């Protein structure tokens, strides 16, 4: 199962969402999450979970959480 | 005849959010107390429950996904089960996420304790189109399975019946074990032999764990089990000798670390069980977010939509921003006139206040509406969940570059400000990816460049301000991507690791949330206007005013002398000495480019007057070159400082300044020369 995940990701021509990957492998998305966490811990791949580090900022996406925590924020930092 | 048990201990295990606490409350009612697990601050809940003649203590274990030694919660769960030996472990399984939850079940069964599965949230599973054959599931796993809806207190009595039957010895536990395949099973058996044999693990330790569980855990290189066995029999005992032999043998077969093989086998076992006992209706799985994503993250349509949203953002910024901008401009001009006509101070102080302070800060402050509008747009894009999609769309390009898909995320953040964006590269695991992303991040156009674009596009491209600004943002992205490719090839060669992304569902942004985000970010711009820009304006005023008696802001002033000394460097780009001075001070903060022009032209904050003066020294072609140069040349002082901090080296900070300066010069030169070739110089 873990090999299938790695193969599917490596053979994919573009980026993959966990949802798309779960569909392709015909497994439950939450089960896939568990497997991805394991593979991530092993350093085989990485998973981006928007907002996982900045729950307190309340944004849906961490991607553009420009001035907020972790999405690290720095008071001394101004605009460049 | 064996005596009938009247008391027992029941442990509740399960994944987080599987409804464990609800089932615990249903079982115990008000008869519970809360404390901490010994030596740690993890909450421990215990209660009692009665069923016919049986009284049982219910212990709510922390929620875990597995029983490794990686987290405190997992260690607590396995230590309690192996140490306290509860009569029954009730595994609360979320039926709507059964495949993930059963992974823990396999590990609980491996511990060799009687397990009852409480199949909770059956209603949620059914509403998601998940149908579970409970009898077949029980048969396949060899343990009792009780369907439940904990929130409605359904199935609680049946669960108590099952617990009572288990305690009374009436339930059948076949406890199916995962079959790890011939090679692994052979080594597990050998290890079991050494664990149980002479020189192995003493009986008091074996009483806690089954030898099979210990063997599997050793092969998984479980740190906790290794430490425990070492404490009992030392590192040189027969167990570790056998472990080393088995490990070597298995590595030669699988060529992978053994833990991965074992975990894979467990998932395979769970997948097999689910395939047999669970049926899903696939057609219910398409959500509104999926439908929108089919268009917005489509391989072909994704980029045009991304470009359209970006263009729309800049169009709105300038279209809506021009009205409040005019009001602020009038206000600042009025203030300057008021000070100029009513102040009876010395001429130099008058000039300092009007030309330096009001002119310098005011010339930047008039762009506040645009800054606020662009932050409203960015807030809407992120609150809806689109920004995560932007990173997803761009991942294709990043992947082609050999860069990590995550790298685009700090780059998107760079549209706001490069300082936190550079810091956000900490989320990248690979040092090489991180270095590349840090180095190209300043090429992403932050909001500090916006006043420069706004000033120049108003003076030279009034009819197409949004489109021209959009082209500059695009230029920044394209060059960041190109430089990343170069850095990957020559400075940091290597492959990026595979990348998967979780996309959040689309949501409607709230008015309050959008306004709060706009103010949070926009107010930083205001603060900056009152600090860095103010200080910069005073310095520029001083340099434009001195030496005494010179015409303010003329080529004979100190600023003029600096500019003329630097002019040969920028002359090939079609710029004069004023541009050299403006760019030099823009290194502190890019907005200062605007206030410098205000000072050098001696027109202060008067935007129309600055525009008119700019038209005397720039053509549309050189104006575009100047904006491109401003976009690309050296990161601001704060960004350079943060690059130094994040890379831990002045060398890389200096490199970021040097390469971006060279790139800016080269790009501006090419645009200028190609423009001249096409007759655009007039």
Q: Which of residues 150-209 of B touch A (CB under 8 A)?
A: none
Instruction: Answer yes or no: do A66 and A37 share one domain.
Output: no
Band of pLDDT at residue B205, cut at 50, 70 and 90:
confident
Q: Is residue A80 part of a domain?
A: no
Q: Do the chains contact at A15 and B381, CB–CB below 8 Å?
A: no
**Backbone phi and psi for residue B360, each to the nearest 5 degrees, phi listed first:** -70, -55
CB atoms within 10 A of CB A29: 18
Q: Nearest CA to B610 among B392, B456, B497, B439?
A: B456
ipTM metric = 0.74
Q: Do the chains contact at B500 and A47, CB–CB below 8 Å?
A: yes
Residue A58 has pLDDT above 70, yes or no: no
Of the listed ranges B53-62, B214-223, B352-361, the one predicted with least confidence: B352-361
Q: Which of residues 82-111 of B touch A (CB under 8 A)?
A: 97-100, 103
Residues of B in contact with A25 (CB under 8 A): none
pLDDT (0 to 100) of residue B285: 60
Which CA distances in Å does B237 have to B197, B201, B202, B220, B258?
11, 9, 12, 19, 21
Phi-psi region of B14 (alpha: psi -120 to 50; beta: other; left: phi over 0): left
Q: Do the chains contact at B502 and A59, CB–CB below 8 Å?
A: no
For the stretch B622-668, pLDDT in tens is 999 999 999 999 898 888 988 998 898 899 999 999 999 999 999 99
- Can you identify the CATH homologous superfamily of domain B7-167? P-loop containing nucleotide triphosphate hydrolases (3.40.50.300)
For residue B646, the chain A residue with the least C-alpha distance is A72
Q: Nearest CA to B96 among B128, B49, B61, B52?
A: B128
Q: Do the chains contact at A61 and B385, CB–CB below 8 Å?
A: yes
Whole-angstrom distance, CA of residue B220 vs CA of residue B213: 10
Average pLDDT over residues B205-211: 79
Instruction: Answer yes or no: do A6 and A38 share one domain.
Output: yes
Band of pLDDT at residue B350, cut at 50, 70 and 90:
confident
Q: Do the chains contact at B500 and A77, CB–CB below 8 Å?
A: no
Say which residue the tokens 């990590």 belong to.
Answer: B404
Instruction: Answer yes or no: do A35 and A66 share one domain.
Output: no
With beta carbons less than 8 A apart as the criterion, state whether B88 and B116 touch. Answer: yes
Report the percentage of chain B scoring pLDDT > 90. 30
Could you name the CATH architecture of B182-254?
A: Orthogonal Bundle (1.10)
Q: Do the chains contact at B99 and A60, CB–CB below 8 Å?
A: no
Whole-angstrom distance, CA of residue B436 vs CA of residue B479: 13
Q: What's the domain range around A35?
A: 2-43
CB atoms within 10 A of CB B519: 13
Q: What value does the mean pLDDT of chain B take?
A: 85
Based on the structure, what is the number of domains in chain A? 2
Shortest CB distance from B385 goes to which of A16, A49, A60?
A60
Whole-angstrom distance, CA of residue B119 vs CA of residue B94: 6
Helix (H, G, I), strand (E, B) or coil at B258: helix
Residue A53 has pLDDT above 70, yes or no: no
Instruction: Answer yes or no: do A14 and A33 share one domain.
Output: yes
Q: Which two tokens stand for residue B492?
A: 């940091």
Average pLDDT over residues B174-197: 86
Residues of A in contact with B503 (CB under 8 A): 17-19, 50
Residue B5 has pLDDT above 90, yes or no: no
Instruction: Answer yes or no: do A33 and A60 share one domain.
Output: no
Shortest CB distance from B532 goes to which of A37, A63, A78?
A78
With beta carbons less than 8 A apart as the criterion, state whether A12 and A23 touch. Answer: no
pLDDT (0 to 100) of residue B604: 64
> B465-490 vs B450-460: helix axis angle to the nearest 10?
130
Q: Which of B496, B498, B591, B660 to mutate to test the interface with A (most CBs of A within 10 A)?
A: B498
Q: Do the chains contact at B429 and A46, CB–CB below 8 Å?
A: yes
Question: Which spans in B491-557 are helix H?
Answer: 511-530, 532-545
Whole-angstrom distance, CA of residue B541 vs CA of residue B552: 9
Residues of A in contact with B513 (CB under 8 A): 58
Average pLDDT over residues B611-629: 94
Instruction: Answer yes or no: do A31 and A56 share one domain.
Output: no
> DSSP states of B379-398 as a string?
HHHHHTTHHHHHHHHHHHHH
Q: Is residue A32 part of a domain?
A: yes
Average pLDDT over residues B66-82: 86
Average pLDDT over residues B85-89: 90
Whole-angstrom distance, CA of residue B23 vs CA of residue B156: 8
With beta carbons less than 8 A apart as the criterion, state whether B53 and B132 touch. Answer: no
Helix (H, G, I), strand (E, B) or coil at B653: helix
With beta carbons less than 8 A apart as the criterion, state whether B148 and B118 touch. Answer: yes
pLDDT (0 to 100) of residue A19: 84
Band of pLDDT at residue B4, cut at 50, 70 and 90:
low
Instruction: Answer yes or no: do A23 and A56 share one domain.
Output: no
**Backbone phi and psi for residue B91, each to the nearest 5 degrees, phi listed first:** -95, 110
Residue B529 has pLDDT above 70, yes or no: yes
Q: Do the chains contact at B420 and A58, CB–CB below 8 Å?
A: no
Whole-angstrom distance, CA of residue B144 vs CA of residue B121: 17
Q: Nearest CA to B577 among B565, B590, B559, B563?
A: B563
Of the listed ranges A58-62, B80-84, B90-94, B430-434, the one predicted with least confidence: A58-62
Q: What value does the mean pLDDT of chain A take?
A: 67
Average pLDDT over residues B392-403: 74
Band of pLDDT at residue A44, cut at 50, 70 and 90:
confident
Q: Is residue A79 part of a domain?
A: no
Helix (H, G, I), strand (E, B) or coil at B91: strand
Å between A35 CA and nearest CA of chain B? 8
B512 touches chain A (CB under 8 A): no
Instruction: Answer yes or no: do A63 and A31 share one domain.
Output: no
Of the listed ranges B309-313, B658-662, B668-672, the one predicted with least confidence: B309-313
Q: Which of residues 617-656 of B touch A (CB under 8 A)?
A: 635-636, 638-639, 642
**β-pair type (B278-280, B32-36):** unpaired
Task: Give Cα B540 distance to the centre of its chain.
Answer: 40
For residue B419, the chain A residue with the least C-alpha distance is A77
Which CA distances in Å does B229 have to B5, B66, B67, B70?
34, 21, 17, 18
Chains A, B: CB pairs < 8 Å: 220
Whole-angstrom distance, CA of residue B596 vs CA of residue B544: 9
Instruction: Answer yes or no: do A54 and A70 share one domain.
Output: yes
For the stretch B585-607, pLDDT in tens is 888 888 889 888 887 887 766 77
Helix (H, G, I), strand (E, B) or coil at B279: strand
Q: Which residues pair with A80 in a beta bridge?
A: none
Q: Do the chains contact at A14 and B396, CB–CB below 8 Å?
A: yes
Whole-angstrom distance, CA of residue B230 vs CA of residue B226: 6
Q: Give the domain ranges of chain B.
A: 7-167, 182-254, 303-677
Q: Do the chains contact at A79 and B642, CB–CB below 8 Å?
A: no
Whole-angstrom distance, CA of residue B387 vs CA of residue A63: 6
Residue B520 has pLDDT above 70, yes or no: yes
pLDDT (0 to 100) of residue B674: 95
Residues of B in contact with A77 (CB under 8 A): 417, 419-420, 423, 638-639, 642
Task: Give Cα B429 distance to the centre of its chain.
Answer: 12
Q: Which two tokens stand for residue B341?
A: 């006509």
Q: Which of B131, B270, B502, B636 to mutate to test the interface with A (most CBs of A within 10 A)?
A: B502
For residue A14, the chain B residue with the least C-alpha distance is B396
Q: Do the chains contact at A71 and B390, CB–CB below 8 Å?
A: no
Residues of B in contact with A67 (CB under 8 A): 416-417, 420, 520-521, 524
């Amino acid at each position: 199962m873990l090999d299938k995940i790695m193969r599917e990701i490596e053979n994919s021509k573009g980026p993959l969402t966990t949802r798309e990957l779960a569909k392709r492998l015909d497994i439950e998305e939450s089960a896939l999450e568990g497997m991805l966490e394991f593979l991530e811990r092993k350093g085989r791949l990485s998973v981006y979970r928007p907002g996982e580090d900045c729950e307190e900022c309340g944004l849906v996406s961490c991607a553009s959480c420009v001035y907020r925590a972790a999405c690290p924020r720095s008071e001394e930092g101004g605009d460049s | 005849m064996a005596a009938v048990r009247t008391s027992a201990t029941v442990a509740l295990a399960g994944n987080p959010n599987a409804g464990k606490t609800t089932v615990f409350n249903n079982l115990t009612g008000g008869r519970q107390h809360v404390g901490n697990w010994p030596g740690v601050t993890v909450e421990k809940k215990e209660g009692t429950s009665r069923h016919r003649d049986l009284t049982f203590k219910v212990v709510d274990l922390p929620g875990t996904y597995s029983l490794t030694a990686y987290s405190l919660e997992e260690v607590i769960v396995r230590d309690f089960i192996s140490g306290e030996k509860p009569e029954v472990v009730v595994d609360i399984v979320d039926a709507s996420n059964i495949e993930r939850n059963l992974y823990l079940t396999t590990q609980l069964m491996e511990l060799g304790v009687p397990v009852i599965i409480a199949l909770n949230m059956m209603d949620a599973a059914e509403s998601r189109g998940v149908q579970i054959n409970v009898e077949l599931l029980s048969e396949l796993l060899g343990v009792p399975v009780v369907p439940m809806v904990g929130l409605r207190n359904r199935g609680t009595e049946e669960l108590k019946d099952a617990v009572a039957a288990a305690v009374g010895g009436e339930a059948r536990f076949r406890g199916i074990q995962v079959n790890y395949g011939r090679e692994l099973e052979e080594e597990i058996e050998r290890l079991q032999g050494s664990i149980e044999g002479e020189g192995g693990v003493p009986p008091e330790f074996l009483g806690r764990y089954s030898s099979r569980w210990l063997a599997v855990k050793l092969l998984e290189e479980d740190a906790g089990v290794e430490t425990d066995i070492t404490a009992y029999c030392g590192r040189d005992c027969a167990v570790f000798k056998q472990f080393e032999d088995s490990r070597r043998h298995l590595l030669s077969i699988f060529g992978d670390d053994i833990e991965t093989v074992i975990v894979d086998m467990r998932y395979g076992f769970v997948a097999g069980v689910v395939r047999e006992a669970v049926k899903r209706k696939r057609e219910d799985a398409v959500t509104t977010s999926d439908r929108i994503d089919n268009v917005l993250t489509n391989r072909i349509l994704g980029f045009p939509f991304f470009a359209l949203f970006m263009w729309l953002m800049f169009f709105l910024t300038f279209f809506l921003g021009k009205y409040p901008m005019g009001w602020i401009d009038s206000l600042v001009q009025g203030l300057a006139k008021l000070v100029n006509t009513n102040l009876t101070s010395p001429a130099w102080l008058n000039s300092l206040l009007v030309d330096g302070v009001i002119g310098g800060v005011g010339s930047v402050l008039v762009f506040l509406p645009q800054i606020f509008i662009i932050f409203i747009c960015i807030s809407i894009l992120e609150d809806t969940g689109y920004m995560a999609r932007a990173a997803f769309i761009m991942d294709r390009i990043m992947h082609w570059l050999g860069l990590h898909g995550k790298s685009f995320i700090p780059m998107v953040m760079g549209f706001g400000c490069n300082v936190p964006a550079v810091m956000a590269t900490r989320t990248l695991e690979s040092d090489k990816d991180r270095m590349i992303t840090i180095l190209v991040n300043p090429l992403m156009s932050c909001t500090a460049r916006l006043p420069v674009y706004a000033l120049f596009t108003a003076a030279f491209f009034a009819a197409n301000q949004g489109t021209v600004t959009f082209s500059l943002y695009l230029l920044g992205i394209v060059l960041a991507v190109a430089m990343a490719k170069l850095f990957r090839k020559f400075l940091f060669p290597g492959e990026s690791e595979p990348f998967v992304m979780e996309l959040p569902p689309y949501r409607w942004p709230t008015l309050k949330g959008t306004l709060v985000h706009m103010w949070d970010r926009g107010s930083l711009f205001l603060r900056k206007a009152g600090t860095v820009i103010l200080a910069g304006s005073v310095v520029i005023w001083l340099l434009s005013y001195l030496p005494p008696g010179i015409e303010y802001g003329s080529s004979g002033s100190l600023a003029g002398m600096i500019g003329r000394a630097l002019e040969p460097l920028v002359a090939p780009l079609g710029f004069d000495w004023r541009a050299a001075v403006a760019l030099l001070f823009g290194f502190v903060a890019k907005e200062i480019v605007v206030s410098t022009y205000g000072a050098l032209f001696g027109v202060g904050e008067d935007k129309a007057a600055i525009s008119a003066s700019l038209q005397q020294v720039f053509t549309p072609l050189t104006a575009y070159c100047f904006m491109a140069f401003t976009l690309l040349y050296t990161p601001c002082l704060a960004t350079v400082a943060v690059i130094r901090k994040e890379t831990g080296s002045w060398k890389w900070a200096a490199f970021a300044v040097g390469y971006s300066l060279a790139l800016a010069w080269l790009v501006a030169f090419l645009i200028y020369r190609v423009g001249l070739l096409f007759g655009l110089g007039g």
